[in-house]
């Protein structure tokens, strides 16, 4: 019996040794795979850093350019003033968006600053009598010299309909009346539609948009930011879209 046990012991020891060697081999293989995976991940992260570094720089430059442009746009808008002297033009265009705009344009017409006035973007439901009341204009002025555009739905539409009106009357010098924050985009669209016409800006000043307070007022800041984005969109659209001149 002792002889049998003695012969079995070396076999078990040999088996355990093989198991231990197998585990060691497996451990070495696992360690090698982990090291390989780590090297691959390091290479991947290095390449990603190299790729994203210029992208990050580019995005930072875009954000910086947007911020600088927005500040310059806001300063330009909030420093606009009604011209102290205004030579008479042939026509006057007012883009709707507030009673003050229409009143200002009608006053210019009454003072002989233009032969005719186009009120562009009038709501279809708005009656002529209502416009007469808010502008304190008499029937004779409306009947002879004021035209209403009810087709325009936005600034592009204002420019398109205004171009038709200008061409119909063969005008070359036209006063543009709209709010100060809306003036840059309006002039851009009008000039694109009628590049040969001399458009003379007459901004209506919004009270809460001035050079001292716009950056401190949330509503004013939001209004300027929205208008700046629209202005940029208009500029980009102008690069890729043919001028919408009147036919």
Between CA 122 and CA 139 the distance in angstroms is 18
CATH class of 79-240: alpha beta
Domain boundaries, the chain: 1-64, 79-240
pLDDT digit string (tens) for the chain, length 247 residues: 544 444 444 545 555 555 545 554 555 556 667 777 777 777 777 776 777 777 777 888 899 999 999 999 998 998 898 888 898 899 999 999 888 999 999 999 999 999 999 999 999 998 888 888 888 888 899 889 999 999 999 999 999 999 999 999 999 999 999 999 999 999 999 999 999 999 999 999 876 666 566 766 778 889 999 999 999 999 998 887 765 555 4
Give the DSSP H or E segment for 201. Answer: strand 198-204
Between CA 161 and CA 146 the distance in angstroms is 15
- Non-local (6+) Cβ contacts of 200 within 8 A are 86, 87, 89, 173, 174, 175, 176
Between CA 95 and CA 180 the distance in angstroms is 12
**pTM of this structure:** 0.74
Q: Of how many residues is the chain composed?
A: 247
């Amino acid at each position: 019996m002792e002889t049998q046990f003695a012969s079995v012991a070396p076999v078990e020891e040999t088996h355990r040794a093989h198991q231990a060697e197998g585990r060691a081999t497996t451990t070495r293989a696992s360690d090698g795979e982990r090291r390989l995976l780590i090297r691959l991940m390091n290479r991947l992260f290095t390449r990603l850093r190299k790729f994203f570094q210029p992208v990050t720089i580019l995005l930072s430059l875009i954000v910086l350019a947007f911020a600088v442009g927005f500040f310059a746009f806001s300063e330009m808008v909030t420093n606009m003033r009604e011209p102290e002297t205004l030579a008479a033009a042939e026509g006057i265009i007012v883009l709707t968006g507030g009673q003050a705009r229409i009143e200002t344009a009608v006053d210019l017409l009454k003072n002989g600053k233009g032969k005719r006035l186009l009120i562009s973007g009038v709501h279809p439901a708005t009656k002529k009598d209502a416009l007469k009341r808010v502008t304190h204009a008499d029937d004779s002025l409306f009947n002879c010299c004021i035209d209403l555009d009810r087709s325009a739905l936005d600034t592009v539409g204002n420019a398109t309909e205004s171009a038709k009106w200008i061409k119909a009357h063969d005008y070359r010098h036209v006063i543009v009346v709209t709010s100060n924050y809306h003036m840059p985009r309006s002039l851009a669209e009008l000039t694109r539609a009628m590049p040969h016409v001399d458009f003379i800006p007459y901004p209506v000043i919004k009270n809460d948009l001035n050079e001292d307070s716009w950056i401190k007022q949330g509503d004013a800041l939001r209004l300027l930011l929205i208008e700046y984005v629209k202005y940029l969109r208009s500029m980009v659209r102008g690069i890729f879209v043919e001028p919408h001149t009147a036919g």
